[in-house]
Amino acid sequence: MQAHELMAQHRRQKWQEDVERDTAYSFKPKTHEMPDFEALHKQEEMEAFNRKMEVETTAVKPFNLRTSVRTKGDITFESLDGMDEPKWSTSKV
pTM for the full predicted model = 0.31
Q: Is 3 helix (H, G, I), strand (E, B) or coil?
A: helix
Average of per-residue pLDDT values in the chain: 79
Percentage, residues of the chain above pLDDT 70: 71
- Of residues 19 and 73, more confidence is placed in 19
pLDDT of residue 29: 83
For residue 72, report the phi and psi dihedrals to the nearest 5 degrees.
-140, 100
Residue spans per domain, the chain: 65-93
